Structure 1
């Protein structure tokens, strides 16, 4: 009987978690670094800052991230990856706070891609479909405009439709699964981005995160891949 009660207690606690405290401002810093010497010499760095602001009428998100990698190629140290990305989204809450109007802006610079830079401005509808003790899910969709310059120096600007999904599942009190997906459909190029991650708390301030990031462009230069992937294990520090 005692064993049965113990099993039922474990099942009842799985997949639920205490409600997170709603903070007016929260910020996480993510850091990963690898350096090897000897027969193989490489240096790679991944960093990210993510901030969330929750106000009475606004809910805002800000992201800045970068990736840098240097390898020893034929006895010479060469930069083999250099990416920067930043974005900001403001969500204005309507009478039903789960229904919102959003404004979004982003800028991406990838030295080794088909584009010198890619930037986006978009507005539209954002809605939180649910937010319960175990998971939350929201989406946004709306028109926008993209600005891009190819590695050949050509401008590719035009109207787009941007859609995004944000799903979070609290696996336990200390582990969280996240899936973020966005796509920007335009006449010149369709740009899509996916981030899948699982993070586990070490203590109140530190977490360990495993993530898979995928960037896809339909229009790329000859000899370039449409899909870039990035797998990382990083340490996340919660500032507040």
Structure 2
């Protein structure tokens, strides 16, 4: 297996979306915090109201905290928005930017995603930049153009050092929350295109590349051995500790097999 993003641990990120409750969160986070480390980096991204609870419950554990979004400005008259410095103050280390649901439902265009990415870096957060195409775009042969456009808008605003520290998640929109997953060949081809786009901006940069789209313990079994996959962005399965940890174990096992 090829080296993964400068030998960084493979990244397993749970995006809870608009789900959770104080009681359910406590049980889930306790299970994750107590689970033995498997050699992967473990991240959870709860909804904004639960970030403080999660930060308290995860204190001293190996589970990193992330947010699902941040505002495009550091402060100001933006009712309902949450700024990157606020997230950092709460203990977040990661923030998701450009998720397809944000792009489709909340008007996050490429320029706004670029602004959010820059603010995240400025305030010590690692952005998890999501890119991907719709089914219509894929079937029309437009996937490369769509992904290149999404990437160029962000990468063109960053220096090589920040590009290297970026996390990029490929999420084919037609596979999110549908139970349908891209094939190994589709994932590998998409991540190859993303790596080529990165190289055009910073030849030496090796950002971590994730796959997101109905990731389960079953799909993790064939995703984990793929050389270009540095981890996964997990949706529904991240709400169940057993399922989330099974995905992590699949990636840990693939890493051990590669070393053996």
Q: Same fold (TM over 0.5)?
A: no
- Which structure shows the bigger proportion of residues in helix conformation? 2
Q: How high is the TM-score relative to the length of structure 1?
A: 0.31
TM-score (norm 2): 0.30
Higher strand share: 1
* Structure whose CA Rg is larger: 1
